[in-house]
Amino acid sequence: MYGGTSAEREVSLSSGTAIVSACESLGHEVTSLDPKDGLSNLMAELKSVDVVFNGLHGGDGENGVIPGFLESIGVRYTGSGNEASAICMDKRVSKALVFRKEILTPEWVSLSMEDDVPINHDLGYPLVVKPNSQGSTIGLSIVSDPSQLNEAVALARKYDTVVLMESFVAGREITVTIIGDKAYPIVEIVPSHDLYDYECKYTKGMTEYFCPADLDESLTQSVQETALRIHKLLGCRHYSRVDFRLDSNNKAWFLEVNTLPGMTETSLVPKSAGAAGLSFPELIQTIIDEALKD
């Protein structure tokens, strides 16, 4: 299942195309489903499949609505369940749960649509302003001066009714793939822009990736253990991608969990799996096998 109606539709279409191709190469009979016009038109197809590979990004595919619907009609699917999906999509909730377990995460303030923009705050500058429940850096800004804050919040509010203002952690951008109960090689992301934005994520050649990341063995193990701990703490299953910033003191600061990370040719999970010796079709089969265990 891929496409959908979220702001990440185009990315989902790319992921879905790659997943379909991989499944066909594995010898599976594949039915392509796009819920852009709702799920009611897809009921016959959904009832006939062994497992739905959820390749939706953002929106109802990732916030728990579609996973919950699939559970209600007894259809197996890949990825996290409805509750974990909703928790991870809501960045302020996932950050709060992680913070309570004394895992480092940047300080934050959340704003509803009715809240005034707090010019006076304790987050410092630069800071990150982003929609609370979006991915692919859609609506995200790095604010270096108070004069830019209102505009950044207004942009984020185009995509969500809740906006997150978050302290900016200078350092290296790293991410950890979790599949089953295993943490895979860490990927370091070095974008051509200061920000790993939508263009850098989905345009070939605009970002350098290093996998395994150049970290010593002890730090690698520590970050991987923290990522797996977060994955389990938030109730994720099958696979996820946990994003961090690594500061100048080699402290890893949790940013967010992606329960349905991208599966395009420039995506991070396939890079990590590849460094562990899994081809893209093998990665897809491994995720399907996790779903079939349930």
Question: What are the residue numbers of the active site?
Answer: 8, 136, 202, 241, 243, 256, 258, 262
Q: Which residues pair with 209 in a beta bridge?
A: 189
Displacement of CA 186 from its chain's centroid (Å): 15
Residue in the structure block whose two tokens are 């977060």: 230
| Cα–Cα distance measured from residue 66 to residue 82, given in angstroms and rounded to the nearest whole number | 8
| Cα–Cα distance measured from residue 50 to residue 59, given in angstroms and rounded to the nearest whole number | 24
Q: Which two tokens stand for residue 230?
A: 């977060």
Give the CA distances from residue 159 to residues 144, 175, 258, 294, in Å, rounded to whole numbers and listed in that order. Answer: 21, 24, 18, 34
Amino acid at site 205:
G
Q: Which two tokens stand for residue 236?
A: 């994720």
Q: Which residues, other chains included, contact 218 with Cβ-Cβ below 8 Å and sequence gap of 6+?
A: none
Using alpha carbons only, what angle is made at residue 45 by residues 40 and 51, rounded to the nearest 5 degrees? 115
Amino acid at site 129:
V
